[in-house]
Amino acid sequence: MLSGWWIDALALALMLLAGLLVWRMERGAVTQAPGRPAPSEQPRLRGYARVFRQAGFHPELIMHLFWAAKLCLAVLAALVIFEVQTGGGLAAALGGALLGFFVPDLFMLARRQQRRQRITHTMPFLISLLAVYLRSGLSLNQALRQASQLGQDGDAPLAQELALICREIEAGRDRDLAFASLAERTGVKDTDQLAAVIHVGYQAGAPIADTLDAQARSLRDQQAQQVTQLVQRKSMELMLPMLLVCFPMFIVIVLFPAAVQLFDVLDMISELF
């Protein structure tokens, strides 16, 4: 059995190692390397690679770091629980190890959801900006570059994805394939419509800017409708605590005096008879 100070030292070392692994994972994020294309940008991503890329990480750069972090947190959680638990330590330690093993998965899922929301939120603005640049006479590649550089701050996910598409097209990749992989990299279905607009516009020779403006308006309407639905749902959720607070007050202020008066009237009637 390890003595207490050995467990503390090992736990501290694992905490430092976990912090180092998280720091290294952040260096593999797309948001921290905007000038460098991802080492793996296949049209179809599978399993953890798909989650990593949609969360904003280069899969090949953090795959081994992710699994190392899972094992490190599992051992750390087991050690901590084994030391503080007085009875049934082994079962609790195994449960803690299982929980710590899946903490990085929860982090990745939360990071992916946050990135999707940011992309959905900034999409109407960037599409409108792209349409403005196209109307000014710029080519699609120039418009993509300008929209990605001037449209949002440096850590905007959609702006970085547009910059990546621009670099892929300049490197010789087919334009349709570059836009088609956008939905796979982001996990946002609305980007499929953007790819379809670009594809159909170039195939039919139609003005892309007008179609992009229409798509931006449609996305803004959808966001406004979602906000309205969210407000209505929150209003309904607030009604329950209001009822829980107001109903006792209603009983005290209204029903109790009425009941007292009713009993007084009944006493008067009983005295008459």
In tens digits, what is the pLDDT along the chain, a chain of 273 residues?
Answer: 445 555 556 666 666 666 666 666 666 565 444 444 444 444 466 778 888 888 888 887 788 888 888 888 888 788 777 777 655 567 777 888 888 888 888 888 998 999 998 888 888 888 888 888 888 888 888 888 888 877 555 568 888 888 888 888 888 888 888 888 888 888 888 888 888 888 777 776 667 887 888 888 888 888 788 778 777 777 777 777 777 777 677 666 766 677 677 777 677 777 666
Closest CA to 79 of 184, 163, 5, 162: 5
Do 62 and 4 meet the contact criterion of CB atoms below 8 Å apart? no
**Is 77:62 a contact under the CB 8 Å cutoff?**
no
pTM for the complete prediction? 0.70
State residue 40's pLDDT score: 41
- Name the one residue in this structure whose structure tokens are 């998965």: 105
Helices (H), 136-207: 140-150, 157-170, 175-186, 190-204
Please tell me the predicted confidence (pLDDT) of residue 267.
72
Fold classified for 121-223: Receptor-associated Protein (1.20.81)
Quote the CA–CA distance of 270 and 59 in Å, as a whole number: 86
Residues contacting residue 8 through CB under 8 Å, at least 6 positions apart: 83
Q: Record the tokens describing residue 205, joined without a space.
A: 């020779």
Q: State the pLDDT at residue 12.
A: 62
| Boundaries of every domain in the chain | 4-118, 121-223
The answer for residues whose C-beta is within 8 angstroms of residue 251's C-beta and 6 or more apart is none
Three-state DSSP class for residue 55: helix
Q: What confidence score (pLDDT) does residue 30 get?
A: 58
